Amino acid sequence: YGGYRNKFKFSLKEIGIAQIVTVFMYFITDSRTEFLVCELIILVVICNKYGITNKLKGILKVIEGLFVHLFPLYPLGSLVLPLAYGYVFKNYKSASLILRLFNKINSILTNRVYQTWYDFEFHGFSLFGSNVELVGNGIKSVNKLGVIRSNFIDNEYMNILFSRGAVVFVLFLILTFITLIYLYK
Classify burial at 129, counting beta carbons within 10 Å of its beta carbon; exposed 0-12, middle 13-18, buried 19 or more.
middle
What's the whole-model pTM score? 0.70
Give pLDDT tens digits along the chain (185 positions): 345 455 667 888 888 888 999 898 888 877 777 888 889 888 888 888 888 888 888 888 898 899 889 998 999 999 999 999 999 999 988 788 999 999 999 998 888 899 899 989 988 888 998 888 777 766 565 566 555 567 778 888 898 999 999 999 999 999 999 998 988 88
Using H for helix, E for strand and C for coil, what is the string for the chain? Answer: CHHHHCCCCCCHHHHHHHHHHHHHHHHHHCCHHHHHHHHHHHHHHHHHHCCHHHHCHHHHHHHHHHHHHCCCHHHHHHHHHHHHHHHHHHHCCCCCHHHHHHHHHHHHCCCHHHHHHHHHHHHCCCCCCCCCCCCCCCHHHHHHHCCCCCCCCCCHHHHHHHHHCHHHHHHHHHHHHHHHHHHHC
